Amino acid sequence: MKTIIEPFRIKAVEPIKFTTRAERRLALDNAGNNVFRLRAEDVLIDLLTDSGTGAMSSDQWSALMRGDESYAGSRSFVRFHEVVTELTGFRHIIPTHQGRAAERILFHTILKPGQIVLNNTHFDTTRANIEVEDAEARDLVIAEGRIPSFIHPFKGNMDLDRLEHTLATDGDRIVLVMVTVTNNSGGGQPVSLENLRGVRALCTRFGKPFFLDACRFAENAWFIKQREPGQQDRTPREIAREMFSLADGCTMSAKKDGLANIGGFLAMNDDRWAEECRNLLILTEGFPTYGGMAGYDLEAVARGLEEVTEEAYLRYRIRSIEYLAERLTAGGVPIVQPPGGHAVYIDARAMLPTIPPLAYPGVALVNALYVDGGIRACEIGTVMFGLQPDGSEIPAAMDLVRLAIPRRLYTQSHIDYVAEAILEVAANKDALRGYRITSSAKRLRHFTAEFALLENVSTGQHAEASAFAG
Ligand code: F0G
């Protein structure tokens, strides 16, 4: 059989609310033209993020009842610890309530002002948690990874030549080398085992620790199985374990490939760093055997980490994203090629060439998708990354719009609807206009910024009314 079906049946359903175009236009206006500020119930299909938004399995829901809520040394922590140790092999496993808590604890512990962390591409919270320590987050993804239309099997790979050069020239300021699997901000693109081995070898040679940002490790492992010579006969779990074995530690958001709604961990081999991180954890997250999670959360994550490497799940997961990508490509919508593991990224800069990066083509597209189709997507571009530490603003490397697909949540007809709605917006794209920011925070501004529609981009005139024109 050619059809890859959802490898599950549905046991509980959650109704979604239908709205009219006029209702959505009003809702977006009230939200300052920022879809992060919408009420979720006013969204029909929510592709804002794949983080914490997936459906748990019946096994995970029943595991919740096993949750041991003891403050210290709970049975649920023991189980969580066993599963994470079996998967990652790291000596110290430190639970945190989500990925950015692991980042904040790690970076606050190890970084001093002026120091540098290298990564293929830092995710926004990762970058912000480095910059808040007055340290530098430097991206070294391969050149192919910066060209949306370029097809390459492992576009998330680290540029090993630049890594070697950077380690040789700035070595005394570099504290940590990270690789994000899959590379979310670069289009959800995978990193090959060969590349991870190369990073490992350079880190060993220059005496630097190497951590994975492991949020989507299982999707990365599946791509390795599909695309890397010699890996076809291994299980995704074996491949994932080798990925972890090459690193000295990881940060993890269990809201992605933990298949849970909340949770995460920080793991590492270094005893001294681990002790300092645990001390900070107690101060801000909780005791080291729960770290901000409930006992039942630890159970859900433990079970999720087992389910996520099942082949039937990963085959369906990656195929469902490819399916949406194929429909958009057939309709002429420019997307990051090949599609990533958790999302399809539309190249908004290529799709809307008349809207310059500083007029936020990504926001123009996101807002049109919401008003036209009730779909909530996410700008990953100049709003998210364009603001510099000194307060100036430059175009981000790319202006992408991410359609992140929550795990096990939507069916094929939902995805068919999404494709249809996007193609309709694409057919009317000449009506779209850019935006300016009317208020924003100094860091992570995309979450709360408010926008007004630009009247006329070329003359720089601004519209005072914020109504959507599309
Ligand atoms: N690292 C990566 C690569 C991520 O994608 C995320 C979150 C984090 C770290 C932080 O984890 O949310 O649990 O604190 N990404 C979500 C997203 C928010 O929509 O891509 P968190």
Task: Give me the percent of the chain exceeding a pLDDT of 90.
Answer: 92
For the chain, helix, strand, coil in percent to 5 are: 45, 15, 40
Domain annotation covers residue 469: no
Whether residue 274 is contained in a domain is answered as: yes
- The pLDDT score that the predictor gives to residue 464 is 38
Residue 463 has pLDDT above 70, yes or no: no
Nearest atom (ligand 1) to Cα of 342: 20
Closest protein CA for atom 18 of ligand 1: 51
**Which domain-ending residue is among 242, 274, 307?**
307
- End-of-domain residue from the set 279, 307, 335: 307
Query: Is residue 100 in contact with ligand 1, taking CB distance under 6 Å?
Result: yes
Which residue minimizes the CA distance to atom 15 of ligand 1? 51
Query: Does residue 88 carry a pLDDT above 60?
Result: yes
Rounded CA-CA distance 251/215 in Å is 8
213 lines ligand 1 (CB under 6 A): yes
| CA 392 to mean position of chain CA atoms | 25
Please give the distance, rounded to the nearest whole angstrom, from the Cα atom of residue 123 to the centre of ligand 1. Answer: 7
Residue 469 has pLDDT above 80, yes or no: no
**Domain with 162 in it: what CATH number?**
3.40.640.10
User: Residue 130: phi, psi to the nearest 5?
Assistant: -85, -45
Domain end (from 307, 330, 364): 307
Whether pLDDT at 432 is above 60? yes
pLDDT digits (tens, 9 = 90+) for 170-185: 999 999 999 999 999 8
Contact indicator for 190, 223 with CB cutoff of 8 Å: yes
Task: Let me know if residue 154 belongs to a domain.
Answer: yes
Structurally, how many domains does the chain consist of? Answer: 2
Q: In terms of Cα–Cα distance, which of 337, 325, 334, 348 is closest to 419?
A: 325
Mean pLDDT of the 36-63 span: 98
At 325-360, the pLDDT tens digits run: 999 999 999 999 999 999 999 999 999 999 999 999
Residues of the domain holding 439? 21-50+310-464
At residue 187, the pLDDT reads 87
Same domain, 215 and 134: yes
Q: From ligand 1's centre to the CA of 99, what distance in Å?
A: 6
Chain segment 392-403, per-residue pLDDT in tens: 999 998 899 999
For the residues 150-168, what does the mean pLDDT come to?
97
CB of 115 closer than 6 angstroms to any ligand 1 atom: no
Residue 470, domain member (yes or no): no
**In-domain check, residue 204:** yes
CA of 255 to the centre of ligand 1 (A): 8
Asked whether the beta carbons of 113 and 133 are under 8 A apart, the reply is yes
Instruction: Determine if ligand 1 sits within 6 Å of the CB of residue 119.
Output: no
Per-residue pLDDT tens for 267-298?
Answer: 999 999 999 999 999 999 999 999 999 999 99
7 inside domain: no
Ligand 1 atom at minimal distance to the Cα of residue 48? 19
The label of the residue with tokens 């829901």 reads 61
Residue ID of nearest Cα to ligand 1 atom 5:
184
Quote the tokens at residue 214. 């492991």
Q: Which residue has the tokens 């760093």?
A: 273
Of all protein residues, the one whose alpha carbon is nearest to atom 19 of ligand 1 is 49
Burial class (CB in 10 A: 0-12, 13-18, 19+), 196: buried
Whole-number pLDDT of residue 1: 85
Atom of ligand 1 nearest to the CA of 255: 13
